[in-house]
Amino acid sequence: MRRFAVLTVGMALAFPPFATLASGGAPQDPTVRVEGTGDSSETSALPEPGAPGRKSVARGRALESIQVTATRRAESRLDVPVSATVLAGDELRARGAPTVMEALRGETGVFVQQTTPGQSIVIVRGLKGSEVLHLVDGFRLNNAIFRNAPNQYMALVDAQMLDAIEVVRGPMSTLWGGDAMGGAIQMLSRDPRFTGPDWQARGGARAVWSSADRALLSRVDGAAGHETLAISGGLTYQNTNELRVGGGERLPFTAFTARGGNAKLVALPAEGHELSLQAQYFEQPNTPRHDELVPGFGQNRPGSSEFRFAPQVRRFTQARWRASSLAFLDALEVQAGRQVIRDDRTTRDFGTVNRDTERNTVTTDGWSIKADRLWRTNRYLTLGLEHYRDEVRSSRVRTNVATGAVSSRPSRFPDGSTMRQFGVFATEDWQLTPALDLLYGLRYSRVTTRLTPNAQGVDVEVENDDLSGQLGFNVALHDEVRLVANLGRGFRAPNVFDLGVFGDRPGNRFQIPNPDLKPERVTSLDGGLKFGGEVLSGEIIAFRSRYRDKLTTVLTGERLPNGRIVVRSANAVEQVLTGLETGFDWRPAEAWRSYGGLTWTRGDESVGGQRDPADRIPPLQGRLGAEWRPAGRLSVEGWAFFATRQDRLSPRDRVDPRIDPEGTAGYGTLNARIAWAATPELDLALRLENLADKRYRDHGSGLDDPGRNVIATIDWRF
């Protein structure tokens, strides 16, 4: 076991004020103003009672910022037993990140893996893909073909429209249902808010240019309205060229474009009632799969002659109604939405003349009802129902590029397959004493997956039931120090991808279906300290998770004539994950602050009695930085990212062309940023990354990270 020293960490960058364009209001809850993030939005007149007793109000420290995902209502992170990372408001915008995943890079408890440019995943407590639940404004991004491996779907959420990203670490199945095994990532869009009876309007434009990939990201948005009605909208466009890595080489097959738009209406038709309607659209028209088009580790030729996602599209519409101070309830929320994800791709194995063109679309319809009730003065009850239905449409044709002949091929997924998820849950927050707060709950879930017949003869309906629970406590050792612990149980039912996928996979593999899968389950215990004072805030959290019947891809011992390895999914793994997540934010003087973060994860698994390291476990990694704000309009910052060597590899890691079989080398980068509020309407920022031009790769990624990179950002408000 590698020796290492742990010196705390956890971080929340603070940047000069950047007004939030076409926005305002706290994410997901119109009653709370998010402090400590530069959000200058107004609160609305829709009161919702807070939790009973000593529940604190955010005072501007990192661990006291407001989150909604850990308890499905707005609460200070300091007051909940669950571990959460929140990136919100101006802090989020100041990152200038082109994707949600890049915005989270370096945050405590998360690790970013990138298979190809523009498409990354966030690993939480050693888990990834469908093992982590992804939400957009409370609606599931995970769907029936979301795979438990690196995937591209998180990239279809426009980071430029978001007001907050919340990562809750640890099983969250009690509140959010299946897939929330390692945690839940929620992306919250901005709400338009205005005060006063008169019509008002505002708008803004943003441009971000980066030198490493000669990329230009642009965003234009605006809002209009008054205190009871507001509407907003925006457009985003990104053009990225070939990536320059450390040392000067530009990688082929790394250029792509992305574009999107969103619109939202918020109305307060009567006192205590709020209605919101929104639509989101985002697209990557033609993104190459870099790691399939160049030789990887252990390969003397690429896996594919052609591999492009063309196109990847996400469309989302949602209606939400909130009410407060009803006859028997303190708050009620009803929401319904539809999400359509199009996952089309064109592939051709290396050295062949057969080009396959796939069309895969998943339509997700969902609704949920949540009710809150404060009773007996110190007990806060939350009840909820939710239902989701996915329908998969899938087809594939083959074209002989030499002759032009076209023929039908088996689809990647059984065409017409469906997946239904129903859940009912209850949680209670009980302020047992002034110093002791308990949070506990139960959830019953039923998942029904039906596979239609395909070329392999798969025609089956699978039903899975689950009862999940959670118990946590928060003890106030001091006004600014909490002792917390949380015991949680999560589950993930096999979806259409697990049960019926068929075809080529990354890593020179070919997947065959397995309809006889069972749900995987996890029990996790974590605990530690949270502290949040005016000078020092932070957290020290340790966790241990045990997984049973964990799904994994196993070798069948067969190979196709073209050399691809035949694999299938199976409930073959028992896994134990252990880790430590620490963080600090120290402000010794008004103009100075330092921060840091360190995350360590160890994974061990047992397959058929054979004990090995778990797949794609991130190395010890973290960040350390300092910021100086000599004047209100100027900020100067420097920080370092670092990761140690990761050579604890699973057998699957060692044959994955994205991973060096000898282990992924450690690295450290130095970075700096200077920001200037030139006028009340104009903000300028210059960010310098990887100053030493080091060539490095994050563990498990399919390409190297950017070399020396200059990022210029202009924000203009009007």
Render pLDDT for 385-400 as a digit per residue (tens, 0 to 9).
Answer: 999 999 999 999 999 9
- Mean pLDDT value of segment 14-35: 31
- Asked if pLDDT for residue 44 goes beyond 70, the answer is no
- Nearest Cα neighbor of 441 from 426, 452, 430 is 426
Look up the domain containing 102 and give its range.
62-717
pLDDT in the model for residue 456: 53
Task: Examine residue 464 and state whether it is found in any structural domain, yes or no.
Answer: yes
Is 33's pLDDT higher than 60?
no
pLDDT for residue 516 = 79
Residue 554 falls inside a structural domain: yes
What per-residue confidence (pLDDT) applies to 32?
34
CB contact set of 433 (below 8 Å; sequence gap of 6+): none
User: Do the domain assignments include residue 177?
Assistant: yes
State which H helix or E strand residue 189 sits in: strand 183-189
Tokens of 379: 């007990």
> Looking at residue 557, what is its pLDDT?
85
Mean pLDDT of the chain: 88
Check which CATH number belongs to the domain holding 126 and give it. 2.40.170.20
583 within some domain: yes
Q: Tell me the average pLDDT across 189-211.
A: 96
Write down the pLDDT at residue 97.
Answer: 86
Residue 1 within a domain: no
How many CB atoms lie under 10 A from the CB of residue 560?
Answer: 13
Which H helix or E strand runs over 499? helix 496-500
Complete DSSP assignment for 61-129: -GGGSEESTTTSS-EEGGGSSSEEEEEEHHHHHHT--SSHHHHTTT-TTEEEEEEETTEEEEEETTB-G
Distance CA(691)–CA(211), nearest Å, equals: 13
Which of 249-253, 271-275, 403-407, 506-510 comes out lowest in average pLDDT?
A: 506-510
Cα separation, 716 vs 718, in Å, equals 7
pLDDT of 49: 35
13 — pLDDT class (breaks 50, 70, 90):
very low
The answer to which of 209-218, 227-236, 561-570 has the lowest mean pLDDT is: 561-570
pLDDT for position 313? 98
pTM (2 d.p.)? 0.89
- 3-state DSSP call for residue 651? helix
pLDDT in tens, 553-581: 788 888 888 888 898 888 888 999 999 99
CA atoms within 13 A on the CB side of 110: 29
> What pLDDT sits at residue 64?
58
pLDDT interval class at 609 (50, 70, 90):
confident
Q: Is the pLDDT of residue 4 over 80?
A: no
CA distances from 519 to 21, 114, 182, 489, 644 (A): 43, 27, 15, 13, 34
pLDDT, residue 504, reads 77
Phi, psi for residue 89 in degrees, rounded to 5: 55, -135
In a domain, 28, yes or no: no
Structural contact between residues 427 and 438, judged by C-beta atoms closer than 8 angstroms: no
The count of other CB atoms within 10 Å of the CB of residue 710 is 12
Q: Decide if 399 is inside a domain.
A: yes
**Domain assignment present for 42:** no
Instruction: Please tell me which residue, 454 or 239, carries the higher pLDDT value.
Output: 239
What is the percent of the chain where pLDDT is above 70?
Answer: 90
Q: How many domains does the chain have?
A: 1
* pLDDT at 14 (0 to 100): 28
505 or 278, greater pLDDT? 278
Q: What angle do CA 289, 155, 501 make, to 5 degrees?
A: 60
**How many CA atoms within 13 Å lie on the side-chain side of 234?**
27
More confident residue, 461 or 661: 661
pLDDT tens per residue across span 312-368: 999 999 999 999 988 889 999 999 999 999 999 999 999 999 999 999 999 999 999
34-48, 90-104, 435-449, range with the lowest pLDDT = 34-48
d(CA 502, CA 19): 48
Give the rounded percent of residues in the chain with a pLDDT score beyond 90: 72
pLDDT at 463 over 60: yes
Look-up of token digits 């738009």: 261
Give the range with max mean pLDDT: 108-122, 198-212, 449-463, 506-520: 198-212
pLDDT at 606: 92
